[in-house]
Amino acid sequence: MTSPIGSLSALSERAGGLIAPAIDIYLTYRCSLRCRHCFVGERLESSRDFDGDLLTLLINSCAAWSTREVTFLGGEPTLYPGILGAIEEVQDRGMRARIVTNGLAGLRRLIPQLPRGNQLSVGFSIDGSSPEIHDHVRGRGKFAQMLENIKACKHRGLEIFGVTSISRQNSANVHEIVSLSRELELEYLNLHYVVPVGFADSSLRLPIGEWRDILFRVRQEAERLGVAVRAEELIEEDLEEDDDPCAVRNEDNLMFLPDGRVFRCPLFLDQPDAHSYLWTRTGLSPNRSDSAESAICRRMPSARCPALALIDPGLSSAGGSNGMHVGCVLKKTSYGKPSTDRANLGLS
């Protein structure tokens, strides 16, 4: 079953303002790791945090945007000094909070203080089903720490899900990771296709044919085990312009970074001056530069994913035959049992 991104721009027009049912907030560029596939990349070296007053203003603004869910990411969000207060502010306003974490020491310190109940879920980055594979990506001893902290979160009654970034580092292990998600009783597993953004380069990216083969087997495994998996299909049948799945053109995704930049698509992160907005004390200020992601997408109406056409032309053209194309990386397809996951997830 496919969960389309959907066009919120029409809703926005009817409501007379921005509509954002779910937003991503990158609380900090600080992180204890330097993973090769990290799309944040060299920005981690700045260790910059989201300004506290601007964060409060942002959370308060969510009510006007009809926001129901806020996801905190990084860097490593558990290293942000005010994360507990931010979670409390989100929940006090009747919204659901999510954290996407590497599941290491920063999280361990927080677990005893995390609010119980179903208004908070914790997503763990899982890059392998064993120490040999996961630790090759994350560092020695990280797999054992992750499992210990998953157990501690479950003991506290928190909803747990998995986030796996698939590249040449772990592509042979995907189906075992699906099996692990069942053993760990995760609510769902979210699979990301690694593209050359941030630290990642083209040597990590899988050929599109190999990715499709992996997803075919993932679907079979998810249905056999009865687990919920979500992933980017990427290759789709050619669509009419009205069915355009682009997150930028449809204006249905917002990710706020610690330096104040606001993007609709994470694939534009490396492009100079490509953000859609700046978040300041006066709210959202549109970036009207010709380099902005929205301007780039308008100049490339024929490409179903303008970002990929810009950063990875080879991948963008990989599906350009037999009426197929490479679609938006934010469009997810569900396998196995139904999941509670939302349509648009941030990349961790």
Q: Tell me, yes or no, whether 342 lies in a domain.
A: no
CA atoms within 13 A on the CB side of 24: 25
Candidates 259, 251, 255; CA nearest to 267 is 255
Q: Tell me, yes or no, whether 347 lies in a domain.
A: no
Can you give the residue range of the structural domain that contains 25?
Answer: 2-336
Q: Tell me, yes or no, whether 345 lies in a domain.
A: no
Confidence grade of residue 319 (pLDDT, cut at 50, 70, 90): low
pLDDT in tens, 66-106: 999 999 999 999 999 999 999 999 999 999 999 999 999 99
> What does pTM read for this prediction?
0.90
Q: Number of structural domains, the chain?
A: 1
Question: Which domain CATH number covers 60?
Answer: 3.20.20.70
Confidence grade of residue 247 (pLDDT, cut at 50, 70, 90): confident
Q: Tell me, yes or no, whether 305 lies in a domain.
A: yes
Contact 114, 77 (CB under 8 A): no
pLDDT in tens, 187-234: 999 999 999 999 999 999 999 889 999 999 999 999 999 999 999 988
Q: Return the exposure string of 317-329: e unless at least 16 CB atoms fall within 10 Å of the residue's CB, then b.
A: ebbeeeebbbbbb
Confidence grade of residue 239 (pLDDT, cut at 50, 70, 90): low
Q: Tell me, yes or no, whether 346 lies in a domain.
A: no
Q: Tell me, yes or no, whether 241 lies in a domain.
A: yes
pLDDT of residue 300: 77
pLDDT of residue 5: 33
Considering only residues 317 and 266, tell me which one the structure prediction assigns the higher pLDDT.
Answer: 266
pLDDT of residue 337: 82
Q: H/E element holding 152?
A: helix 142-155
193: tokens are 């296709």
Lowest mean pLDDT among 31-35, 92-96, 207-211, 288-292: 207-211
pLDDT of residue 317: 73
Candidates 18, 41, 10, 46; CA nearest to 30 is 46
Q: Tell me, yes or no, whether 343 lies in a domain.
A: no
Q: Tell me, yes or no, whether 136 lies in a domain.
A: yes
277: tokens are 């907005």
pLDDT of residue 305: 82
Instruction: Report CA dihedral (212, 230, 152, 129) to the nearest 10 degrees.
Output: -10
pLDDT of residue 340: 56
Contact 88, 115 (CB under 8 A): yes
